Amino acid sequence: MKKTFLLAAFAVLGLSQVNAQEASNGGQTSKGKWLIEANTGFSAGGEIGFVQHTANTGFGLYSIDGQTAWSIGAEGGYFVMDDLAVKAGLGYSDLDYVTVFSYKVGAKYYVISKIPFQVDLNGASIKDNNENPLWLGLQGGYAIFLGDNVSIEPGLRYSVSLNQDFYDKGIFEARIGFALHF
């Protein structure tokens, strides 16, 4: 009898915890919701100066050997089903010596509405350049919901070059994302 009572108590506690988690994120990753996101990234990799910065749809500032690069951008998404958003992003970068417009299209899936994984295709159009980079991006992290409409998503990202003539090595980044959910 004690075991049955204890098992029932754990079951009720477990269900209430699941409901509390759903209530705490307010259904931000539910079908029909929108997502607007801005990221910052700290990257490693790349032998060409600022190559890690060329396909950026987030915020960044780099200064290496007297050259400064900055970028601004954002991503938006729509949840086509619970926990799955289709996303697109645009960005602009100034690399001291060249102007870059960036783009990104992909999908982001939230496991248990808290652990985001993203796959995307991102690239850049570099002014006065005959060749432009194209990357396959893989990203994972954890969503910390601060309320009904805001989350912070620290994570890791790896971008693999799809254009080996431009650059053939991957880029690894630690990121902090800031998202609005509505």
Q: For residue 147, what are the CA distances in angstroms to 43, 47, 107, 155?
A: 29, 41, 23, 20
Please say whether the beta carbons of 30 and 79 come within 8 A: yes
Taking the C-alpha atoms of residue 47 and residue 130, their distance in angstroms, rounded to an integer, is 19
**Tell me, what amino acid is at 178?**
F
Q: What is the CATH number of domain 29-181?
A: 2.40.160.20
Per-residue pLDDT 10s for the chain (182 aa) are: 444 444 444 444 344 334 434 444 558 999 999 999 998 876 654 444 444 445 678 888 877 777 788 889 999 999 999 999 999 999 998 877 788 899 999 999 999 999 999 999 998 888 777 778 888 999 999 999 998 899 999 999 998 888 866 665 778 888 899 999 99
Domain spans of the chain?
Answer: 29-181
Please say whether the beta carbons of 85 and 143 come within 8 A: no
Taking the C-alpha atoms of residue 79 and residue 87, their distance in angstroms, rounded to an integer, is 9
Taking the C-alpha atoms of residue 129 and residue 163, their distance in angstroms, rounded to an integer, is 14
φ/ψ of 7, rounded to 5, equals -65, -45
φ/ψ of 69, rounded to 5, equals -130, 140
